[in-house]
Amino acid sequence: MPRVKKEEQVEKKAKKRAKPIQLVKGMKDVLPPEQYIWEHIHQNAEKMCQDFGFGRIETPILESTDLFKRGVGSSTDIVEKEMFSFETQGNDQVSLRPEGTAGVVRSYIENGMSKWVQPVRLYYEGPMFRYDKPQQGRYRQFTQFGAEILGEDSPAIDAQVIYLAWKIFQKIGIKNVSIQINSIGCQSCRTKYKKLLTDYYDMKLNKLCVDCKRRLEKNPMRLLDCKEEKCMQVAAGAPQIIDNLCPECHDHFRSVLEYLDELEISYVLNSSLVRGLDYYTKTVFEIWAEGEDSESRQSALGGGGRYDGLVGLLGGEETPAVGFSFGMERVAEKVTKMNLDLESRIVKDVFLVQLGDLARRKVLKAFDKLIDTEITVGESLGRGSIKSQLRMANKVKAKLALIIGQKEALDNTVIVRDMKSGMQETVMMDDIVKEVERMLKKS
Binding site for ligand HAM (CB under 6 A): 99-101, 130, 132, 137-139, 142, 144, 146, 148, 276-277, 300-305, 307, 323-327, 329-330
Instruction: Give 183 or 325: the residue with its C-beta nearer to ligand HAM.
Output: 325
Instruction: Give 311 or 377: the residue with its C-beta nearer to ligand HAM.
Output: 311
Distance separating alpha carbons of residues 280 and 301, to the nearest angstrom = 18
Closest distance of CB 339 from ligand HAM, Å = 21
Instruction: Give 144 or 380: the residue with its C-beta nearer to ligand HAM.
Output: 144
Instruction: Give 73 or 378: the residue with its C-beta nearer to ligand HAM.
Output: 73
DSSP result, 204-262: TGGGS-HHHHHHHHH-GGGGGG--SHHHHHHHHTSPPGGGG--HHHHHHHHHHHHHHHH
List CB contacts of 16: < 8 A, sequence separation 6 or more.
Answer: none
Instruction: Give 77 or 435: the residue with its C-beta nearer to ligand HAM.
Output: 77
Closest distance of CB 384 from ligand HAM, Å = 40
Sheet strand arrangement including 141-150? 55-56, 120-129, 141-150, 321-327, 302-306, 281-289, 177-183, 267-269
Does the N-terminal peptide bond of residue 119 adopt cis geometry, omega within 30 degrees of 0? Answer: yes
Closest distance of CB 210 from ligand HAM, Å = 22
Among candidate residues 70, 56, 123, 59, the one with its CA nearest the CA of residue 97: 59
- Are the CB atoms for 189 and 249 separated by under 8 Å? yes
Closest distance of CB 258 from ligand HAM, Å = 22
Distance separating alpha carbons of residues 149 and 117, to the nearest angstrom = 12
- Are the CB atoms for 219 and 277 separated by under 8 Å? no
| The dihedral formed by the CA atoms of 201, 203, 209 and 212, expressed in degrees to the nearest 10 | 30
Instruction: Give 305 or 378: the residue with its C-beta nearer to ligand HAM.
Output: 305
Task: Name the amino acid, one letter, at 95.
Answer: S
Helix axes 155-172, 247-262, angle to 10 degrees: 40
Distance separating alpha carbons of residues 76 and 97, to the nearest angstrom = 14
Instruction: Give 327 or 378: the residue with its C-beta nearer to ligand HAM.
Output: 327
Closest distance of CB 354 from ligand HAM, Å = 44
Distance separating alpha carbons of residues 240 and 232, to the nearest angstrom = 14
Instruction: Give 234 or 300: the residue with its C-beta nearer to ligand HAM.
Output: 300
Closest distance of CB 232 from ligand HAM, Å = 19
Among candidate residues 213, 255, 217, 254, the one with its CA nearest the CA of residue 231: 213
Closest distance of CB 143 from ligand HAM, Å = 8
Instruction: Give 169 or 324: the residue with its C-beta nearer to ligand HAM.
Output: 324
List CB contacts of 69: < 8 A, sequence separation 6 or more.
Answer: 79
Instruction: Give 148 or 408: the residue with its C-beta nearer to ligand HAM.
Output: 148
Reduced to 3 states (helix: H, G, I; strand: E, B; else coil), residue 440 is: helix
Closest distance of CB 284 from ligand HAM, Å = 8
Closest distance of CB 375 from ligand HAM, Å = 39
| The dihedral formed by the CA atoms of 390, 395, 397 and 398, expressed in degrees to the nearest 10 | -30
Closest distance of CB 56 from ligand HAM, Å = 15
List CB contacts of 187: < 8 A, sequence separation 6 or more.
Answer: 281, 309
- Are the CB atoms for 131 and 68 separated by under 8 Å? no
Instruction: Give 119 or 146: the residue with its C-beta nearer to ligand HAM.
Output: 146
List CB contacts of 281: < 8 A, sequence separation 6 or more.
Answer: 184, 185, 186, 187, 305, 306, 307, 308, 309
Q: Which residue is nearest to ligand HAM (CB)?
A: 327
Closest distance of CB 306 from ligand HAM, Å = 8
